[in-house]
Structure 1
Amino acid sequence: MSRKPVYLAVYDTFADWETGHATAWLARVGYEIRTVALTTAPVTSIGGLRVQPDLALGELRPEDGPAGSLLILPGADLWDTSEDLAPFARTARAFLAAGVPVGAICGATAGLAREGLLDDRAHTSGAAMYLAATGYKGGERYVETDAVTDGDLITAGPTEPVAFAREIFGRLGDVFEGEKLDAWYRLFHDSDPAAYETLNS
């Protein structure tokens, strides 16, 4: 099956552990993972991983044609210390308007809050007061849970990379079928040995 690519945003200080479960399993089932940064200059994750982006953010124009299957925005120190990453939040708006799912975890949720994308959607993050500090208007839609999907938007806090991946898989719908998605989550989140048999049956 031919699948549109998944775009993984990368920028200096991005939290490399937050998206690994999602991108690894998406790649395993045939999605092309393409990294996108503000420019094509290398960036360095918070864990010291140096990444050469595949394309610059300006090349992503969902309104001009196929936008891909998904845009993933990891957390990063820069979400909270500057406006440098605001263009990624604006790109998320364009993707959502085009009907393409967006996943945001950790600090990226604050970026979306500042962009107004959480005002009218159920969402979560690291803590309600973290998002409240952005001055956004969506506090009543905040959900105290590990990860939330509202239509095409997926959000999660920094301690929930497995739940974040589960919601992404569930939204795309072609990664695991039926009970295997639940088994995948139980295996990697709960270390449930019985889930291994279900996942590999």
Structure 2
Amino acid sequence: MFTIYVYVLDTLADWELGYVTSELNSGRFFKKGAPRVMIKTVSCSKEPIHTMGGLTIIPDCLTDDIAVSQTSLLLLPGADTWNNPKHGAVIKKAGEFLASGAAVCAICGATAALAGFGLLNDRPHTSNGPGFLEMFVPDYKGQNFYVDAPSVADNNLITAGSAGALLWAKQILAYLDVFQSDTLKYWYEYFHTGKPEHFFALMQSLPANHSQL
């Protein structure tokens, strides 16, 4: 079973997590024999957090409760509050994940938090466009590894800009290997283009006894 730790903090950018958490939680398109997935929200305290969209989230657990293992994955969403020092503990935990081979998936402002700890200095990564990380992280030294793309997967590190949530989700789903390859292809194409033929191909890629939408 995979445990997905979703770090939550005030001003969390709701839309950046929507694609990936909905699919991981529902399992609606999982392939036969896919590993079970459990999602836990985690934060630096048990105080309610308020997202950018006005939703209130009560964290399930604390940063210290995160278990670093090959069956754990850390999701770091964007937010306007990453510069608060209290979030440093989870970025330190992210470093432990990466060093152990466990996966860290960061998007938007969370990439700046990783860059601030030097975790992007020597690995392919992306963010909100060239120059964004330099703007917020004066000591950023990963320019030679920056890739100007919506989302970049480098083994157990998956980073994205704020407009790359869909591709980011696809790369996370691929890393976890919970979809059949053709299901993942059509899932991405449908949500990327909105064309109905991709939706029907998506549904046809599922087992005959799979529950339909």
TM-score (norm 2): 0.87
| 3-state SS in 2 of match to 1:48 | coil
Give the CA deviation at 1:160: 1.6
CA distance in 2, matches of 1:67, 1:177: 21
- Bigger mean CA deviation after superposition, 82-91 or 130-139: 82-91
Match for 1:32 among 38, 53, 70?
38
Deviation of the 1:67 alpha carbon: 6.4
Residues 96-107 of structure 1 correspond to what in structure 2 (within 5 A)?
A: 96-107=98-109
Question: What SS does the corresponding residue of 2:167 show, helix, strand or coil?
Answer: helix
Map 1:149-188 to 2 at 5 A.
149-174=153-178, 176-188=179-191
**Could you list the per-position Cα deviations for residues 3-26 of structure 1 after superposition, in whole angstroms to 9, with x for gaps in the alignment?**
121110001111111011101101
On the 8 A contact 1:122/1:143 being kept in 2, the answer is yes
1:16: which partner in 2? 14
Which one of 109, 112, 115 corresponds to residue 111 of structure 2?
Answer: 109
The match for 1:123 among 107, 122, 125 is 125
Q: Kindly provide the CA deviation profile for residues 103-152 of structure 1, in whole angstroms up to 9, marking residues without a partner as x.
A: 00000000000111111110111112111231211011111111000110
- Residue deviations 1:60-107 (CA, integer Å, cap 9, x gap): 142xxx46431100011012x433322221111111122211100000
Give the letter for the 1:96 counterpart.
L
Q: What residue is the counterpart of 1:5 in the other structure? A: 3
Larger radius of gyration: 2
Q: Is the Cα–Cα contact under 8 Å of residues 19 and 161 in structure 1 kept in the other structure? A: yes
Amino acid at match of 1:196: F
Q: Which runs of 5+ in 1 are unaligned?
A: none
Give 5+ residue unaligned stretches, structure 2: 28-35, 205-213
Match of 1:192 in 2: 195
Aligned length: 194
2:131 partner SS: helix
Moved more, 66-75 or 48-57: 66-75
Task: Note the aligned Cα RMSD (angstroms).
Answer: 1.4
